[in-house]
Copies of this chain bind each other. A is one copy, B any other.
Amino acid sequence: MALRARALYDFRSENPGEISLREHEVLSLCSEQDIEGWLEGVNSRGDRGLFPASYVQVLRAPAAEPPPARYANVPAGGFDPLPPPAAFKPAAPEPFAPPAAGCPFPPAPYGGSYQPSQGSDDDWDDDWDDSSTVADEPGALGSSYPDYEAAGGGAASGRYRLSTRSELSLGSRGGGGHLPGHPHPPGGSAAKSSATVSRNLNRFSTFVKSGGEAFVLGEASGFVKDGDKLCVVLGPRGPEWQENPYPFQCSIEDPTKQTKFKGMKSYIAYKLVPSHTGQQVHRRYKHFDWLYGRLAEKFPVISVPHLPEKQATGRFEEDFISKRRKGLAWWMDHMCSHPVLAQCDAFQHFLTCPSTDEKAWKQGKRKAEKDEMVGANFFLTISVPAGPGAGLDLQEVESQVDGFKAFTKKMDESALQLNHTANEFARKQVTGFKKEYQKVGHSFKCLSQAFELDQQAFSAGLNQAIAFTGEAYDAIGDLFADQPRQDLDPVMDLLALYQGHLANFPDIIHVQKGALTKVKESKRHVEEGKMELQKAEGIQERCNIISFATLAEINHFHKIRVRDFKSQMQHFLQQQILFFQKVTQKLEEALHKYDSV
């Protein structure tokens, strides 16, 4: 049958390859399958090209097929699969709001942020040309990634504009730097845990959502394979994650623009070379994001590093690509440095699955999405020091965690301030400092030009020396403008990564605190005769596991923090020294020009 669609709104083509639509106009579709939210078709004027899928309503009979099982990977331990949310009915969508006129990116259908998409293969069809039946569902197609690399950030392109508190809060866990339409909304997990037996009144509490409560109450159960087992050991500074016996690193290089869909849509692929395989793989930002989503769901008390921020405009610009590559490299460094994250199956799949083997990728991806050891069950995989006296002192833990909480608050404040200062300092160097030095350079050049009118042969040397001095100051202005890239940008990259971690910790602390509260409650209940001692001991034992894991995570954070800030401060100072040496050298060159005057 000829595929047709009716335009729901006017759309004005703004880029090559796009076609304009008029409201109510009927179009022929080349394919029903959208690519990142775009469809290809022919409009009533005979123009062929792309337009936003959400701007049109596909004209055909309602699908008879049942919706796919979208929560197939919900862990079995106490979670009843929910019926698919209403938004997933396969009928053509009612867009939630008329799109802004001339908006180059289609609005996210279904109000985006309440649409969980983890585990739904259809999001990936545009990449792997998957021909699953799910992909034939209109409206739902590509719905969670349409404005993926497209949306976010807003107008100003990143660097040296002011960061505000609200921008940073976008980077907090859960919402996690993710915009409407993103696959990791907090509502998603909340819906999952609503089926658990729980005594916590707040259904949206992280303690509940993370599975921490379910675990403490002994409701998590599952078979822990050997490969899934994690150890917390007692190190000199307290509980620590057992070191990765096979540590590795992974480089991220050569971001290259790749095209698809007859060259009309492009994306950037990064070359990853993990040191333990030496085999390069190519990954897109969306692959990183998929992985991030899986890990954030799986590990309730591990701070999964946030990905570098998204950006709407200029995402193919060299600066942005280079900045994102650096951000991803930082992210990768933190992933590889974390004993638990580094060894996690999903991450290993991401690092090692050959880019060309689509089948293997999909298998690994499905496996990760079906992983049962997530949330509450994750805690089952943790083994902690056992035996008499190995249990942690509750008050001691509470004091340590409280201390860490105060620390993170202060560090967050100072990181915010340093980030703001660095951003402003960079901006001043790129604008004001450069301008001031170049104005000095210009004035010297003008003076030398004036002096050239002096008709005095004996002063020609001086005139040239002054002109050279002018050029030196001009060059110094350029050095100032180039410098932030060398020193302040890496500092800000580091701060961004740590701001992500700091945004993760309140939830981690919340889980640990929730567990502690349960222990206290259970003790009271035992005293009041409302609970069996054995049950209360079980709660305390499981809380002990959460405490061990939390302290191990805190220790890991301090370890990498000291490592990172030391090396970054050194790098910053080295670059600053190099910079001032370059400036000095320019001035010395200029000074020597006067020797022969």
Contact = CB atoms under 8 A, between A and B. Distances in A.
B587 A576 contact: yes
Given A451-B411, A577-B588, A594-B570, A439 B421 contact: yes
Kindly name the residue among A417, A421, A432 whose own CB sees the greatest number of chain B CB atoms within 10 A. A421
Contact of A562 (B404, B459, B573): B459
Contacts of A597: 562, 566
Interface stretch (A254-262, A266-274, A530-538, A578-586): A578-586
A428 interface: yes
B459 A446 contact: no
Contacts of A581: 584
Contact of A415 (B421, B447, B453, B455): B447
A33 B450 CA distance: 52
Number of copies: 2
B424 A428 contact: no
Contacts of A440: 421-422, 425
A569 B450 contact: no
Given A454-B558, A566-B597, 16 more contacts: A404-B455, A406-B453, A407-B450, A410-B450, A411-B453, A414-B449, A421-B439, A421-B442, A433-B433, A458-B562, A459-B558, A465-B569, A469-B573, A566-B594, A573-B591, A577-B591
Interface of A: 237, 400, 403-404, 406-407, 410-411, 413-415, 417-418, 420-422, 424-425, 428, 432-433, 436, 439-440, 442-444, 446-447, 449-451, 453-456, 458-459, 462, 465-466, 469, 558, 561-562, 565-566, 569-570, 573-574, 576-577, 580-581, 583-584, 587-588, 590-591, 594, 597
26 contacts: A237-B456, A403-B453, A404-B455, A407-B450, A407-B453, A410-B450, A410-B453, A411-B447, A411-B451, A414-B447, A417-B446, A424-B439, A425-B436, A425-B439, A428-B432, A456-B562, A459-B558, A459-B561, A459-B562, A465-B569, A466-B569, A573-B591, A574-B591, A577-B584, A580-B580, A580-B583
